[in-house]
Amino acid sequence: MRTMFRLTAVAFALGLALGAQAQDFNWRKHEGKTVTFLVNNNPIGNALVKFKPEFEKLTGITVKVDGYQEQQMRQRLVTVMNARSDEVDLFMSLPSREGLQFAKAGWYADLNDFIKSAAAKDYDFKDLSAGMVADATYDGKVMGLPLNVEGPVVYYRKDLLQKCGVPVPKTLAEMEAGAAKLKACDANVAPFVSRGLKPAAPFTFSVFLHNHGGEYMKDRKSQLCSAAGQAALGQYSRMLKDFGPPGVVNYSFPQISSLYREGRAVMAFESTNELRNVMDGGARLNDTGIMPLPAGPGGSKPTVIGWTLSISAHSKNKDAAWYFLQWATGRGMQEKLALEGIAPPRASVAGAPEFKKWIDEVPVRREWIAALNTLSQTGISEVGYPIVANPASREPIGQAINELLLGQKTVAQACADADAALNALIAKN
């Protein structure tokens, strides 16, 4: 199911009547409690951990951080949840990836009652992105609240494009031709980099697929071997294999951001969420442009998703965990996250004077927010197959990309094997 998000959405048709919220909300009500937060060590998770002492001072609640890289975080969560353990109270989640699977497994606590009657009176639920809350809602149950809005964009070196006589590409064909020219101009800098790591690659590959006019599934059959699917697989793998850095098959967002920040890549196709990491140290502040992936034969169809914060259904500290969740997704914290380069899912923050001032301070930030607005207005959240086993569906996609990067199969062979595995998965879901 494809979902469109808008940064400024303020209405949400859940039919939730926000009941009379506590007039004398007591942030110290759960003083002395401890909650465990399973964190993805991405910019959002790192920022929340950075500011958690403020929450602990406000509430007297201790937040125990259990942090991992994304894949390891999910492995940890699966282990805990399958054991029905209460050792995790809060966790970060991507509804576009695991939402339906986790919901059907009963892993998310329903937040409806908290939203209706246990929120601070200045917690404005309707200010949150309607699309993102809807994306985290199943059978009328709210399974998480949004922390950010993000999607992959192209970070590119304006100075190196100019040096090599390469115009800013307007189409995928122009981008590939430009990468070839960049390689001939300076062999010491990778013309293009994006995700090659098997579990991570579908996030960026999906935009290539949609821009080529492709789709993952039609009439409950995998479509990677469609003409558009093969064209997307071929171009994505060529761009990485012919113009990417050595070892790109192992690249995800940390390696990509580091490579670009250090001046060893001209174009990096990576999440908007990586702005702060890309700009860390200031070397790229004045020479970088940002744009959505150029259009392909199917037009421009960017990906837009967002992380949510959820409470474990097995937690024995749900009330205290809710305090952390509403603090993290409340306006005050969201304003701080926005100034860390994390696009806000709250309309009030997106339009706040402080955020606008921060955006206007540096040209690259203006390009960043412009690209985000485009993603928010036109983006879709389909990454992998729209089935319960969405996380498992990403494995054959990444496998096909890996096989092409390593020269193990042709596009036709790789997509045929992937389609076979995916059709078997679809049949079970």
Same domain, yes or no: 91 and 114: yes
Same domain, yes or no: 243 and 220: yes
Same domain, yes or no: 140 and 166: no
* Residue 254: DSSP 8-state: H
Q: Among the listed ranges 15-29, 285-299, 401-415, which one has the minimum average pLDDT value?
A: 15-29
First to last CA, the chain: 14
Rg, C-alpha atoms of the chain: 21
pLDDT value of residue 130:
85
Domain ranges, residue 188: 152-301+385-428
Contact 192, 152 (CB under 8 A): no
Output the average pLDDT for the chain: 93
Same domain, yes or no: 267 and 128: no
Distance CA 289, CA 92 (A): 30
Same domain, yes or no: 180 and 319: no
Same domain, yes or no: 141 and 206: no
- pLDDT of 15 > 70? The answer is no
CATH of the domain at 47: 3.40.190.10
In a domain, 290, yes or no: yes
Distance CA 121, CA 195 (A): 43
In a domain, 29, yes or no: no
Instruction: Quote the pTM value.
Output: 0.88
Percent of the chain whose pLDDT exceeds 70: 95
Query: Between vectors from CA 318 to CA 316 and to CA 320, what angle results, nearest 5°?
Result: 110
Same domain, yes or no: 205 and 109: no
In a domain, 3, yes or no: no
Confidence band of 26 (pLDDT split at 50, 70, 90): very high
403-408: long-range pairs with CB below 8 Å, 24+: 404/233, 404/234, 404/237, 404/241, 405/196, 405/237, 405/240, 405/241, 405/248, 405/249, 406/249, 407/241
In a domain, 21, yes or no: no
Q: How many domains would you assign to the chain?
A: 2
Tokens at 310, concatenated? 């959820």
Q: What is the DSSP track for 65-113? A: EEEE-HHHHHHHHHHHHHTT-SS--EEEE-IIIIIHHHHHHT-BPP-HH
In a domain, 95, yes or no: yes
Same domain, yes or no: 332 and 279: no
- pLDDT of 4 > 50? The answer is no
Q: Name the 3-class secondary structure at 308.
A: strand
- pLDDT of 12 > 70? The answer is no
Same domain, yes or no: 88 and 226: no
Which of these, 1, 274, 330, lies nearest to 134 by C-alpha position?
1
Confidence band of 8 (pLDDT split at 50, 70, 90): very low
pLDDT value of residue 3:
45
Distance CA 323, CA 67 (A): 20
Mean pLDDT of all residues in 247-251: 98
Confidence band of 16 (pLDDT split at 50, 70, 90): very low
Same domain, yes or no: 112 and 246: no
Sheet holding 62-68, edge to edge: 62-68, 34-40, 90-93, 308-311, 145-146
Same domain, yes or no: 88 and 176: no
* Residue found under tokens 């998703």: 305
- pLDDT of 103 > 60? The answer is yes
Strand duo 137-138 + 141-142: pairing: antiparallel
